[in-house]
Each structure stands twice: as structure tokens, then as C-alpha cells.
Amino acid sequence: MNNCIFCNIIGGQMNAATIFENSEFKVIMDRFPASRGHILIIPKEHIENIFELDSETGSRLFALATHLAKVLKQKLNCEGLNVLQNNGVAAGQTVPHFHLHLIPRYTDDKVSF
């Protein structure tokens, strides 16, 4: 989809700090991070939300999220971490291409959603 921010990042037409990539997913730093180390796991296929996500892709995505959560904890020494995933405008989704947030948390970091 050429008017989709994340498709443009995946296609290389827009820049993003990429921390991991394979044939199925791209992991980038959030441009407006809620905390230090806030990343987004994005399926390369344009699907809008969880209602379009097949469970096998979802399983692989969550396996990757589990691994990256541990990497963030080890590298950044965060004390906690939020996994966030918004679906639909009513739920606060602002980019209509599925993505999972990993948001490292630090004591007294004052992050709110």
C-alpha cells in the first residue's frame, strides 16, 4: 500500500532505524518513543489489525516479541516492559498497519498511555 507509512518503511521509501529484519517481520525504533528503547514489530505483509492476522503469523510474531523483550531487558537494563497492540481508531491505533509495541519501563519513568 503506497500510502501506508509502515509499507513505505518496509519497502525502503522511508527511513527508520531498523534493529532486526527477516523475510516476515521488520523491527524498528519508534519515531516518537514512549520510553528509551521503544520498538515496533511489524509484519511485512500489509494487514491492518489483529482481526486480519492469522494465528500462525501471530505465533511467530509473539515468539519474536518474547526474544526481543529479553534482549531489551539485557541491553537496556529496564526494570519492566509493556507489550502494547492497538486495533482500530476506537482503540487508539494511529497507523493502520499491524504492529506490536515493546516499551521498556524504568522506575519512575512517568510513561502513560
Which of ligand 5GP, Zn ion, none has residue 95 at its interface (CB below 5 to 8 Å by kind)?
ligand 5GP
Nearest to 10 by CA among 63, 18, 75, 105: 18
Cβ at position 1, least distance to Zn ion in Å: 5
Cell of 106: 524504568
Q: HSE, CB side, 13 Å, CA atoms: give it for residue 84.
A: 21
Cβ at position 98, least distance to Zn ion in Å: 8
- Positions annotated as catalytic residues are 99
Neighbours of 34 (CB within 10 A): 17
* Residue numbers at the binding site for Zn ion (CB under 5 A): 1, 4, 6-7, 46, 97
Place of cell 509499507: 7
Quote the DSSP letter at residue 26: E
Which of ligand 5GP, Zn ion, none has residue 16 at its interface (CB below 5 to 8 Å by kind)?
ligand 5GP
* Residue numbers at the binding site for ligand 5GP (CB under 6 A): 5, 16, 28-32, 86, 92-95
